[in-house]
Chains A and B, each alone.
Chain A
Amino acid sequence: MTSIALKSFVGLRQASLEKPHLTSQAKPSSIINPRKLRVIASKSAPKLTNRNLRVAVIGGGPAGGAAADTLAKGGVETYLIERKMDNCKPCGGAIPLCMVGEFDLPLDIIDRRVTRMKMISPSNVAVDIGQTLKPHEYIGMVRREVLDAYLRDRAKASGAEVINGLFLKMDVPRDGVSPYVLHYTGYDGKAGGVGEKRTLEVDAVIGADGANSRVAKGIGAGDYDYAIAFQERIKIPDDKMVYYENLAEMYVGDDVSPDFYGWVFPKSDHVAVGTGTVTHKGDIKKFQLATRNRAKDKILGGKIIRVEAHPIPEHPRPRRLLGRVALVGDAAGYVTKCSGEGIYFAAKSGRMCAEAIIEGSENGKRMVDEGDLRKYLEKWDKTYWPTYKVLDVLQKVFYRSNPAREAFVEMCADEYVQKMTFDSYLYKTVAPGSPLQDLKLAVNTIGSLVRANALRREMDKLSV
């Protein structure tokens, strides 16, 4: 039976399954129940005299900006260290509707509102999704340099000190009260490049410095599998741009990516065409060419104005927290499978971590300890684990082969699927639908998969 249902899945690792790497090995096979953790209540932690709690946020992206803003508002002495204030982070740039409300984003930082998506299968079966969206619902497309700057400026306005500097390393204290000493290169803006080495003493650190996080290295957080996302920004003629007015496309297929998807996302006045992969990073240029080829007619006459690439984490690092240092956003590895969404989760985790620090320190009046920060991990895992798991299952089932992708695109034509997908994406809740519809959906999914695999068996018999 298993031979029909599932061939061996190479999946997201090149070799066979390995246990996640821990730099300092604990008991390898037992999973310790978090409820048995010895949590030192912060109420017994020393009260700070003559000063508030000092926290440094390393990295000024969505995670860092949200964390710094929340900390500053909560009465904590906050430092936000960002290496490049005008950084145009390579990114799809899509944010869900709920982020606008939850983070009070002004509508003018949203370049476009995507209200339709087109899913295109390996055999070019094209399905329009978005009919179930209500008039006020959309996916916001932003430029990262605009969003990041807005969040940083707001943190500054709330009282955080924003430092233009490159974090180098930190000295870890030996006890629970001594400060962390951060070493960074400070750029004064006018210095023009070299900068000067400075230090900063803080009581806690939030690592929001992205996929290549140095803070993560500093706490021995371990590595994660990551995808390479490659993207070309293409300026296409105005008449072609009309088609992408409020539409984004997703291409699936072995030609485009063996384990991810190719995309055409509309930006302010151009489109971003890209693809990604975990297992075949060496072939990324080939996949990009194939993506451009699939969208060829629609981007004809376009001019490439920028080429960019960036790693995307596939799962959380083995260690996200040590002492009074916590990781958030991409540094922690909070990118979903299947869709590769990261911005919202970065901002939300930054905020959640900051809230845990504020609560543990009673608005900056007391020292915090690891137990306080661990509350953020607990809350995070409890709130978003279902979302991450569902997307993982979807990726495993539907991205594994061309027949599966064909079935996936076919399923997307179903209105119930569209409604469930958009509801969970836009509002970040795994909403339970009606059981009858779910059953029908399950039956249809199996039907699609079976049909697609039957076609695959016929294809294998053919030689074209």
Chain B
Amino acid sequence: MAEQHLKSPLHIDKSKNAKDEVENGIELEHSAPRFTDERWKHGTWDLNMNSLSLAERTTIFSETFSIVPLILALKEARRRKFLELYPEASTNEEPVLFRTSIIPWWAWLSRSHIPEAELLNGFFMAYLVDALTGLDVVGQTGNFICKAGLLVTVIGVMLFRRTQDFENLKRLADEATFYDKQWQASWQDNKSAATGASKQTGKNS
């Protein structure tokens, strides 16, 4: 896929507060650049499809159903990246009203690549071909339990493709139950509580 990132230069708005001001303890830090874009208006992105700018038209994409939503997605990514580097004050005059849900899901298809989805597709394609051509490799098993076992194996292979996945899942499980363990700690040491009377002070950390 030949892709180029949006090339339109970032406009840096330095018109406000170019000088330091110290006001009774609240210092206005030296003003960071503000995010601007031709399509960023009134706190959200302009979906108007009739007015692709030259910069936008020179951007090349493939496998898209419509260019504009994807352009918006990429521009929003850029806006967020900008704000991570130069956080801006949130103002009431120009509230940000944008919601990611206005970008339709299919706009993302060309940009995302999930290895597990590939495997799934491969598996189901093979299953379909098998059934259609009558080779019936799957049917050889002839038994519901074996078919179920096949599915479980496939899913298992997908989830645990790499040893690292085991580690990840184990870590996830530990993470999820860590808080529980902290709460149950008070109930764990009741045995030592009986002898605890003689171990009182000085045992803290």
Interface residues of A (CB under 8 A from B): 1-4, 6, 8-9, 11, 17, 19-27, 30-32, 34, 37, 120-126, 169, 172-174, 216-224, 234, 243, 251, 253-255, 289-290, 292-304, 315-323, 337, 370, 374, 377, 381, 385, 388-389, 392, 396, 402, 406, 410, 413, 447-448, 451-452, 454-459, 461-462, 464
Contacts and interface: CB of A to CB of B under 8 A. Distances in A.
A381 to B, nearest CB: 7
Interface stretch (B48-56, B60-68, B82-90, B122-130): B82-90
A27 B5 CA distance: 59
B200 A220 contact: yes
Given A297-B91, A455-B77, A22 B188 contact: yes
A218 B100 contact: no
Contacts of A3: 165, 168
Contacts of B193: 321-323, 370
Contacts of B159: 1
Contact of A6 (B172, B196, B203): B172
A321 B186 contact: yes
Nearest to B114: A4
A388 B183 CA distance: 10
A231 to B, nearest CB: 15
A430 to B, nearest CB: 15
Nearest to A28: B188
A31 B191 CA distance: 11
Contacts of A459: 77-78, 80-81, 84
B143 interface: no
A316 B189 contact: no
A19 B179 CA distance: 10
Contacts of A124: 83, 88, 90, 96
A405 to B, nearest CB: 11
Interface string B26-53: 1011000000000000000000000000
- By DSSP majority rule, is chain B's interface helix, strand, loop, or mixed? helix
B26 A301 contact: yes
A457 B112 contact: yes
Given A2-B165, A318-B185, A301 B24 contact: yes
B159 to A, nearest CB: 6
Given A304-B25, A455-B100, 7 more contacts: A30-B188, A217-B204, A219-B196, A300-B28, A303-B25, A317-B185, A458-B111
Contacts of B158: 1
A254 B165 CA distance: 27
Contacts of B112: 454, 457
A9 B175 contact: yes
B96 A316 contact: no
B204 A23 contact: yes
Contact of A315 (B87, B97, B171, B183): B183
A2 B169 contact: yes
B187 A221 contact: no
Contact of A464 (B82, B95, B186): B82
Contacts of A396: 175-176
Contact of A451 (B90, B101, B180): B101
A37 B92 CA distance: 58
Nearest to B113: A457
Q: Which 8 A-B pairs have the closest CB atoms?
A: A458-B77, A296-B89, A318-B185, A220-B203, A451-B100, A315-B182, A2-B168, A303-B24
Contact of B204 (A6, A220, A451): A220
A210 B190 CA distance: 24
Contacts of B169: 2
